[in-house]
Amino acid sequence: MPPIDLPRYEMDGRRATAEDLFGPVLRAYGHFTAMQVRAGRVRGLALHLARLDAANRELFGVGLDGELIRDRIRHALGDDVRDASVRVQVYPAGGGDATTVLVAVRPPKAAPNSARRLASVPYQRSVAEVKHIGDFGQAYYQRLARRGGHDDALLVAADGTVSETATANIGFFDGATVVWPEAPLLAGITMQLLVAHGPESERRPVRVADLPSFAGVFVANSRGIAAVSHLDGIELPSAADRTEGLIETYEALTGDLI
């Protein structure tokens, strides 16, 4: 069997050229969703398509056909790729409401295999409810955190309120309940699936000073779920069994065929 040709990039259903990619790189305006494909299936596929449609209405004033997006993903995967990281990005195409869809297919990424170490940073994403392209501050603080020996940056408002990390949602164990921050944030697909299928949950304001009072802290994104062990070098309470329970709940969900 010949080796699988990855990564591959397709623009509107055809192999992207350097010229195709030049415009999106310069514009840096658009939205996207990222997913892990396993055996041709994606957990929360309908939620990914709904996200793209809602963001397209917000940024461009028109909806985005979910079946078209599925077709674009299937075409980019081809008959040879069953497991992959897939990113669907939508950009403006010329004037008016026209858009162009880029599908990037890259090797699959596994969930973190160790607890995460976070660094708190004074930042909030603009238009946080949209998974948009080109947020400089988000990327800047993430790189700053990693240079300091941390895995990710925890975004914190001026009053100390926590929202999310640079790459994931953050949740907290409070008794039998999972607490998600009540703050401007992107409701990630994994977060939405845990709310729908996991333990009882609620939204309420959480401040950095509150974190040690919780039984445990975790992060969740398209790659999976992981415990948080440290914030700013301070060890946080561990709830390994609770985190493992969330991982089992998530992994038990049957993905939707693309």
Q: What is the pTM of this model?
A: 0.95
Superfamily the domain 116-253 falls into: D-amino Acid Aminotransferase, subunit A, domain 2 (3.20.10.10)
What does the mean pLDDT of the chain come to? 95
pLDDT tens, position by position, 34-81? 999 999 999 999 999 999 999 999 999 999 999 999 999 999 999 999
Mapped onto helix, strand or coil, the DSSP state of residue 93 is: coil
Break the chain down into helix, strand, coil percent, rounded to 5.
Answer: 30, 35, 35
May I ask the CATH architecture of the domain 8-106? 2-Layer Sandwich (3.30)
What are the extents of the domains in the chain? Answer: 8-106, 116-253
Mapped onto helix, strand or coil, the DSSP state of residue 161 is: strand
Instruction: Give mean pLDDT, residues 221-225.
Output: 97
Q: Is the pLDDT of residue 24 over 80?
A: no
Residues 6 or more apart from 218 whose CB is under 8 A from it? 170, 171, 172, 173, 225, 226, 227, 228, 239, 243, 246
